[in-house]
Structure 1
Amino acid sequence: MDWRSLPSLNSLKTFTAVAETKSLSAAGRELNVTHAAVSQQVKSLENFLGLQLVVREGRGIVLSPEGEQLFEGLSRGFEAILETLDELLREDIARPLNITVTPSFAVSWLMPRINDFRLKHPDIELMLNPTAEVVELKPGGVDLAIRFGKGDWPGFDSELFICTNFAVVGASCLIGDKRIEKPEDILEFPWLSEYGTNELTIWMESQGVVPTGKLNITHLPGYMVLEGVRRGEGISATAKMFLEADIATGNLKVLFEEGVYPGTGYHLVTRPGVKRPPLKAFMSWLRTLRPDLEDC
């Protein structure tokens, strides 16, 4: 299509509003612009076409034969555009809300609360994808990612939701009376690591610890890691918020915390731009449950 042969869309839209209302002032109110702006757009279109499209008659206007012909064609075109947009919007609203989240967050935080959202928004179909993999946010695909980190993901909108440090933890029945004073002291314990993550290894490297032998690491889904840690099957690095109750009762011990991802937390990550209604509803619901962020 030769776009340079077409007048501006704004002038075509303005003319159509004038033709529908038979008034420059009424068209201005419809388009939320001034009478002068409407007159200028119509005059610009007439100059572009070399045709007179409107004729003043008393206090109003009437269309010339050429104006009537143009209005008929533009009406069909704009109606087709509106029908297409309406169909797209209906399909977009009806599409399930696709959310990717880490398995640990899904099991420990989201699932105990998700029924409240379903009761408040029974018309929104949810598709939850608990995975440690970083899923690409594409139009028509994943709408929201709830991810742990510092929130510095270029090209995406990131909103801090819950701030929490990762902590290296182990069950009291596993640690016993052993004194844990330096990172090397935990090398002898079995490690439990969530699929697709390596927090403990990264942390050990950041502490300058180089294992002399092969580490005893078992890779598991996130929910199994938490249960395994509670049963004393190994130590792990995980978000402290998931295990606060176990730590308070003494079932778990925090072996190291300072220096393990300080000042980070779970973020709501979305694509930039306008968010479709189901996503806005879900994010608004999440914000009502967000803890105080003043100490983050």
Structure 2
Amino acid sequence: MDWTTLPSLSALRAFAAYAQSRSVAKAGAALNVSHAAISQHLRALESDLGVALLDRSGRRMELTAEGETLARALLDGFGQIATTVEALTGADATRPLQISTTPTFASAWLMPRLSQFREKHPEISLTIDPSATVQTPEPGGIDVALRYGQGDWPGLEAELLVRSPIVVVAAPTLVGTREISSPADLREYHWLQELGTNEATDWFALHGVDRDAGHGYASLPGNLMLEAARAGRGDRHHRGDFRGAGRRGRAAEDSL
């Protein structure tokens, strides 16, 4: 490697911090420098590379295609460095294992198993974020994300936790005595799905049914979705496999 061809490390750090936060002020706070210093580093890096990394034509500064490419490389590289340093110094050993999952899965599957996990791993502290917001596992942040999906998430190691059948349910007050013999018979109902998922859309697509968009969907937190389904305000369904995905190098999720 020709080290003399690389841009200033300070400029690369400033650009990576900006790319991660998409804010000059937040990048400055993360690196403990002024936002003016971040702006100077960004312009110096573009000048050094001879490439436009930022599009400043709009009201908000955005990364160009070249900027996105460099940002991915830097964040991956700095992430690996941070992980290695934590492993060498032991700084990561005492930090709680941070888990992100949906509220319904947290209450119905994860919580009943925590006592067993504590018995096996009393030395591991846990922080559980029951939110529909999808957060990317990264060094110093979320370690494990439990989500519905096929497990083909780039850059993450995924392990199947629960395989469950697809079940469609509705309150008797909603469907009455109507005979339902095929997925197409459910097109006219308003559907409920858990916030942060696209289960209803996937279910109809799986059965080759063109969903009538005029009846729409309602995306709700898990507990509200159950209450709405029981009250006859729509159909509710449950689908698919639940998988745990985490950044490489952090263990213990397989014991949950």
Query: Are the equivalent residues in 2 in contact too, given 1:192–1:217 (CA < 8 A)?
Result: yes
**CA deviation after TM superposition for structure 1 residue 138, in Å:** 0.7
Identical amino acids, percent of aligned pairs: 40
Name stretches of at least 5 consecutive residues in structure 1 with no aligned partner: 4-84, 240-263, 287-296
Look up the equivalent residue of 1:194 and give its one-letter code: E
SS where residue 109 of structure 2 aligns?
Answer: helix
Look up the equivalent residue of 2:203 and give its one-letter code: W
The reply on whether 1:208 has 2:184 as its aligned counterpart is no
SS where residue 170 of structure 2 aligns?
Answer: strand
The reply on whether 1:137 has 2:159 as its aligned counterpart is no
The reply on whether 1:267 has 2:236 as its aligned counterpart is no
The reply on whether 1:101 has 2:101 as its aligned counterpart is yes
Q: Equivalents in 1 of 2:211, 2:160: separation in Å? A: 33
Residues 89, 204 of structure 1: alpha-carbon distance in 2 compared, 3 angstrom cutoff:
same
Structure 2 counterpart of 1:114: 114
The reply on whether 1:221 has 2:226 as its aligned counterpart is no
Query: Are the equivalent residues in 1 in contact too, given 2:96–2:126 (CA < 8 A)?
Result: yes
Q: Equivalents in 1 of 2:167, 2:90: separation in Å? A: 45
Query: Are the equivalent residues in 1 in contact too, given 2:187–2:211 (CA < 8 A)?
Result: no
Q: Equivalents in 1 of 2:246, 2:211: separation in Å? A: 37
**CA deviation after TM superposition for structure 1 residue 159, in Å:** 1.4
Look up the equivalent residue of 2:209 and give its one-letter code: G
Residues 159, 87 of structure 1: alpha-carbon distance in 2 compared, 3 angstrom cutoff:
closer
Q: Equivalents in 1 of 2:86, 2:175: separation in Å? A: 61
Look up the equivalent residue of 1:270 and give its one-letter code: G
Structure 1 counterpart of 2:188: 188
The two structures, once aligned, show a CA RMSD in angstroms of 3.1
**CA deviation after TM superposition for structure 1 residue 109, in Å:** 0.8
Query: Are the equivalent residues in 2 in contact too, given 1:228–1:234 (CA < 8 A)?
Result: yes
Structure 2 counterpart of 1:236: 236
Larger Cα Rg: Structure 1 or Structure 2?
1
**CA deviation after TM superposition for structure 1 residue 132, in Å:** 2.7
Structure 2 counterpart of 1:167: 167
Residues 125, 132 of structure 1: alpha-carbon distance in 2 compared, 3 angstrom cutoff:
same
What count of residue pairs does the alignment treat as equivalent? 175
Query: Are the equivalent residues in 2 in contact too, given 1:195–1:222 (CA < 8 A)?
Result: yes
**Deviation string, structure 1 residues 80-137 (Cα, Å, up to 9, x no partner):** xxxxx68964431111110111222112111122233235444422111122333111
Look up the equivalent residue of 2:165 and give its one-letter code: N
**Deviation string, structure 1 residues 130-155 (Cα, Å, up to 9, x no partner):** 22333111111111111222222222
Q: Equivalents in 2 of 1:113, 1:196: separation in Å? A: 23
Structure 2 counterpart of 1:158: 158
Residues 189, 112 of structure 1: alpha-carbon distance in 2 compared, 3 angstrom cutoff:
same
**CA deviation after TM superposition for structure 1 residue 199, in Å:** 1.8
Q: Equivalents in 2 of 1:187, 1:204: separation in Å? A: 9
Residues 138, 192 of structure 1: alpha-carbon distance in 2 compared, 3 angstrom cutoff:
same
Q: Equivalents in 1 of 2:238, 2:87: separation in Å? A: 44
Q: Equivalents in 2 of 1:155, 1:238: separation in Å? A: 27
Structure 2 counterpart of 1:197: 197
**CA deviation after TM superposition for structure 1 residue 205, in Å:** 4.5
Query: Are the equivalent residues in 2 in contact too, given 1:166–1:237 (CA < 8 A)?
Result: yes
Q: Equivalents in 2 of 1:107, 1:265: separation in Å? A: 17
Residues 174, 115 of structure 1: alpha-carbon distance in 2 compared, 3 angstrom cutoff:
farther
TM-score (norm 2): 0.58
Structure 2 counterpart of 1:178: 178
Q: Equivalents in 1 of 2:231, 2:112: separation in Å? A: 21
